[in-house]
Amino acid sequence: MRGTGFLAIWSDVEADDLVDYRHWLTREHTTERVTTRGFLASRVFRAARDDINRFFILYELETPEVLDGPAYMARLNAPSPWSQRIMPKLGNFIRGGGVMVARGGRGEGATVMALRVEKMPADPARLVQALVACDGVAAVQIGATDAARTSVQTTEKGMRKNEGFFEGLLIIEALDLASAQNALWKAEEIAPDVLRRASDPEIYLGMFALDARIADFG
């Protein structure tokens, strides 16, 4: 990641809405987002399970201030007709953004473990470096959510129901499932108090990515 800010979103989609949702994401929504001032890139992942259509989206931001800045607020308060159709259908919607407090590694891994944590590590940099040293781990990032900037009421937020929130984010990017799992076990050894209060360790696979530098190629 190039910026210091992030926005992370989870949601579930019913099977009947899956085609429309995927087209919306790849043909409109992510382009709309990364062409908003302060957004640098978008990465979309799908949960590696067959019983549910669950998605994880990670946006790179120049700074956390983008989250409640005028450009993004204008987008959120004027959702497109397609967004107005999709937003009410998203289930188990969880959203949070803030600052990446520690990151390490090189490149991006296609197999991702994205954990929501309710307690931040005492030494995020130490945890990142320990996990990056694990075999098959490409990158690790730890983010702290900014509750005030994330919770601003907007037209788009009002279209969703029961929106969830989280304190922090731990992302392990690996070359394969085994490497991601081994890194998770290492994290549990180093920071058991953090991992005890984390979301289930689901595996996500890379599905789509868009960089602001090429988003308006036409």
Would residue 217 count as lying in a domain? no
Q: Which tens digits make up the pLDDT trace of 180-206?
A: 999 999 999 999 999 999 999 999 999
The 3-state DSSP class for residue 162 equals coil
Question: CA 81, CA 148: separation in Å to the nearest integer?
Answer: 28
Query: Domain for residue 177, yes or no?
Result: yes
Quote the tokens at residue 198. Answer: 């984390």
Closest CA relative to residue 44, chosen from 53, 35, 57, 54: 57
**155 occurs within a structural domain:** yes
Tell me if 33 is assigned to some domain.
yes
Supply the Cα-derived Rg of the chain in whole angstroms: 17
Q: In this structure, what CATH number is given to the domain that contains residue 71?
A: 3.30.70.100
pLDDT tens digits for range 90-135: 999 999 999 999 999 999 999 999 999 999 999 999 999 999 999 9
**Would residue 24 count as lying in a domain?**
yes
Identify whether 137 is part of a domain: yes
Is residue 216 in a domain?
A: no
- Digit-coded pLDDT (tens) for 53-99: 999 999 999 999 999 999 999 999 999 999 999 999 999 999 999 99
What pLDDT is stored for residue 215 in this prediction? 66
Q: How many domains does the chain have?
A: 1
- Supply the range of the domain harboring residue 101: 5-211
* pLDDT at site 213: 85
Name residue 7's beta-bridge partners. Answer: 59, 97
Would residue 181 count as lying in a domain? Answer: yes
